[in-house]
Structure 1
Amino acid sequence: MINPNPRRSDEPIWWSLFGAGGTWFAMITPVTVLVLGILMPLGVFDADTFNFVRVHAFASSIIGGLFIIASIALPMWHAMHRVHHGMHDLKFHTGIVGKIACYAIAAIISVLAIAYIFLL
């Protein structure tokens, strides 16, 4: 028999953050690592392109701040969702405590990223 009043799940919220973090980590992070970690040290870009004043101006802008926050927070939500479900797969049934711990860590890191950008 179908339950006419099913219990609401909070899983769509966590799955949306998981999906956004995974997409960001798969599409944006490799380009960032390529540009800042490989091409810049190899001298493909002019040294003045990434000087402190320009990087600080970018990080202080709205777009730059949102980029930095997203680069930190979204992959963290993705990772903590994987940890939460990975513990279950490894037979560590932590229940609601494990769920709260995983998502609290992601929330704290996200809040710290936002606070850092606003204090910059």
Structure 2
Amino acid sequence: MTKPTMNASGAGSQRTNQPLHHQAYDESLWWGLFSAGGVCFAVLLPSAILFFAVLLPLGWLPANALSHERASALLFSVPGFLFVGAAVCLPLFHAAHRLRHGMFDLILGRDTTNKKLMYGAAALLSLLALGLVVAGMLR
């Protein structure tokens, strides 16, 4: 049993009996989001965890550094929108890409269906996260 290639159509050609390969024009977009998500996941999230889970509870930062009013003002602003985009949305696409390629390696489902499911779920969750920030900005 041979493993199909990532973007093979599955139909054999007339002359060579080899699968037809189609150019995947969107693949560079997904790899770019995967890469950006990995960088944000590796850089931003450890910094946020250090700030919120270590420095703040230990009292190494001023007590009012993250009061409710200040945290709300920061989150529901343009920098907060960008932070949520970088710390939540990009890692979602990173995870979606990993899951898609893992499913391909395990030969689970069709790649086109898996692509739509994984990236669609990442896009919906990203829209939800960013929509909540925008809703907070508008109130």
Q: TM-score, normalised by structure 2?
A: 0.78
- What is the number of equivalent residue pairs in this alignment? 115
User: In structure 2, what is the equivalent of residue 15 of structure 1?
Assistant: 31
Considering only aligned residues, what root-mean-square deviation do their CA atoms show, in Å?
1.3
CA distance in 1, matches of 2:118, 2:60: 40
Map 1:105-120 → 2, pairs under 5 A: 105-120=121-136
Shift of 1:91: 2.5
Of 72, 81, 104, which residue of structure 2 is paired with 1:65? Answer: 81
Q: Which amino acid aligns with 2:99?
A: V
Gaps of 5+ in 2: 1-21
Of 92, 106, 110, which residue of structure 2 is paired with 1:90? Answer: 106
- Give structure 1 regions of 4+ aligned residues with deviation exceeding 2 angstroms: 6-9
CA distance in 2, matches of 1:114, 1:64: 10
Gaps of 5+ in 1: 1-5
Q: 1:73-107 deviations in whole A, cap 9, x for unaligned?
A: 00000000000001111221422111100000000
**Does the 8 Å CA contact 1:18/1:77 hold for their aligned counterparts?**
yes
Larger Rg: 1 or 2?
2
Greater share of residues in strand: 2
Q: Greater relative contact order (Cα 8 A, min sep 6): structure 1 or 2?
A: 1
Q: TM-score, normalised by structure 1?
A: 0.89
Greater share of residues in helix: 1
